[in-house]
Amino acid sequence: MKLVVWLLRGALFVVALGFALSNTGVSELRFFGVDLAWRAPLVVFLLGFFVAGVALGIAGVVPTLFRQRREIGRLRRQLQGATRVPGGSAADPLQVQGEPRA
């Protein structure tokens, strides 16, 4: 299975490389309402917008990631507090007192 994945990755790379090599002509990117234009190969623009999209995607995920990490930490502290028995030994939180756990 790993071989198939690597073959697909290689094929995707070859397709992307072929696309980049066939689009080496200079493109012009114009902005709305401003007399400003950038001239560069199309591949440079595509790479730039791809990187910008990845950065925006990561920036959108970071708050959720930190919120989940705080929640996991809070739940771990709750679990540690729930498993402590006044005698000092840890009890199984899923075991009902007096009944063996199956």
Mean pLDDT over all residues of the chain? 84
How far apart, in whole angstroms, are the C-alpha atoms of residue 7 and residue 80?
A: 47
Q: For the chain, what percent of residues have pLDDT higher than 90?
A: 45
The string of pLDDT tens digits covering residues 25-58 is: 898 988 887 888 889 988 888 889 999 999 999 9
Measured CA to CA in angstroms, residue 100 lies from 33, 88, 92, 95, 97 at distances of: 75, 20, 10, 7, 8
* DSSP three-state, residue 98: coil
Q: What phi-psi label fits residue 26: left (phi over 0), alpha (psi between -120 and 50 degrees) or beta?
A: beta
Q: Which two tokens stand for residue 63?
A: 């708050």
pLDDT of residue 102: 55
